[in-house]
Amino acid sequence: MILLMITPQRYTFRKEEKLKSRKLIEELFKQGNSFACFPLRIIYMHPARTLPYPQAAFSVSSKSFKKAVERNRIKRLMRESYRLQRHNFFQDLEDSQKNLAVFFIYTGKALPRYPELYEKMGMAMRRLHSALAG
């Protein structure tokens, strides 16, 4: 009897995948394309510099959410839903060695629940994928 070892895919969000460069973030907000998929606003671009992986950053307005605890929770939920769904959409980017910088901004006024945010992140990622493809 032969047993096949199937290695499960690891859904990680490594340090190299986090958008931290101030210059790149400024460039993204000045020259990037954007669209809204309520309650998310997505700003993206193909930067001129070489990136090892598609990089992403997440933000929540302190105007809408005064407490840092709430902002941090929303960012944690956004990162988690991105982490679980990014492999479906960005595998072809990594294979073709294309650069991508993405910034996700939560624009809603109410504290989201995870299933709703997961669904909205999936919709936004599909729309981003189609924008990149066409």
Distance (Å) of CA 14 to CA 1, 4, 52, 81? 38, 29, 11, 14
List pLDDT tens digits, range 114-129: 999 999 999 999 999 8
pTM of the model: 0.89
* Rounded-to-integer distance, Cα 130 and Cα 21, Å: 26
In sequence order, the β-bridge partners of residue 40 are 37, 106
* Rounded-to-integer distance, Cα 64 and Cα 108, Å: 8
Q: What is the pLDDT of residue 95?
A: 63
Domains and CATH numbers, the chain: 16-129 (3.30.230.10)
Low-confidence ranges of the chain (pLDDT < 50): none
List pLDDT tens digits, range 24-45: 999 999 999 999 999 999 999 9
